[in-house]
Chains A and B, each alone.
Chain A
Amino acid sequence: MKILKNKKGNILTENLIFIILNIVFLSILILFLFSKMGSAAVLEERYSKEIALLIDSAKPGMTISLNMEDAVKIAKKEKWPLDKIVFIEGNTVKVQLREKGAENSLGSYSFFNDVNVKANFDTTNNKGYYFVIGEK
């Protein structure tokens, strides 16, 4: 009886370690996936291209609102000023979510629509930007 009890204890411990290791392994994999999907560099590139395409398709007199909740979250985490996430210089859109973001050349993209664009942080919900398109 004594031997049997010990064996049962061993099986339980081995299984527990096995399950814990599996969970740790899968958690690391999932964390890696999410970190890659929502990384600052990916978002900087995505939003700069998205905003450039929006401006290219826009006409003077339009106001376009863009939800950038995921980018705002990262900027807050990186302690980057929220009103400096999107910057439009000439006909180039720059999106920066961190101090080192300026080194990411994919975070800027030019648009060909010859309009005057003002990018404003939406302070009513703190979730994104709105773009006012005017004539040049």
Chain B
Amino acid sequence: MKNKKGGDKIISVYWFVILFLVAAGISYMVISFYGKPYDIRELEANVLTNRIADCVSTNGYLNEEILTHSFQNSLLNKCNLNFEVEDAYDWKTQEQFYVKLEVLEFNSKVKVVEVSEGNSNLKDFCEPASKNSPTCLNRSFYSIDKQNNQYQVNILSVVRKTEKNVK
């Protein structure tokens, strides 16, 4: 009878050791998950690309205004974009976005338009992609103008904002 009692006590001690280990494991996972910020840079780059694409082409037809110099000189203004960011982590002195728009004739691949805005240094960190490097998104699509000339539109969007999205 005495032995059985001792055995029960040993089981309960082991039980609490196991419970403690499970709790420590769960706590570690929760702290490491919720301690990291949400990374939304890929979503931001996607939205930025969509906005530029909407600005360049409507219903599959190229917005012919983009072939003019006034459009190319004020891409941000024409596409209703504002690359100003909050005053944190010294971001005011270092722009956090970069976009590059290229329009090529579809068959000859001759560049008709090449415009870029934002911090051009960011594109150098696209490859190799790592956790701390900016998020880069390359997208191409096909468009025609009213005279049925065919074009290929390439958009590169880069979002940095590393400090607020990665830990």
Interface residues of chain A, those whose CB is within 8 Å of chain B, are 7, 14, 18, 21-22, 25, 29, 32-33, 36-37, 39, 42, 45-46, 49, 52-53, 56-57, 90-92, 105-106, 108-110, 112-115, 136
Contact = CB atoms under 8 A, between A and B. Distances in A.
B82 A114 contact: yes
B82 A53 contact: no
B37 interface: yes
The 5 closest A-B pairs by CB, nearest first: A114-B82, A92-B86, A110-B85, A114-B80, A56-B47
Given A46-B38, A105-B164, A106-B164, A91 B84 contact: yes
A36 B86 contact: no
Interface of B: 1, 8, 12, 15-16, 19, 23, 26-27, 30-31, 34, 37-38, 40, 43-44, 47-48, 50-51, 76-77, 80-86, 88-89, 97, 164
A52 B30 CA distance: 26
Given A18-B12, A29-B26, A90 B47 contact: no
Contacts of B43: 53
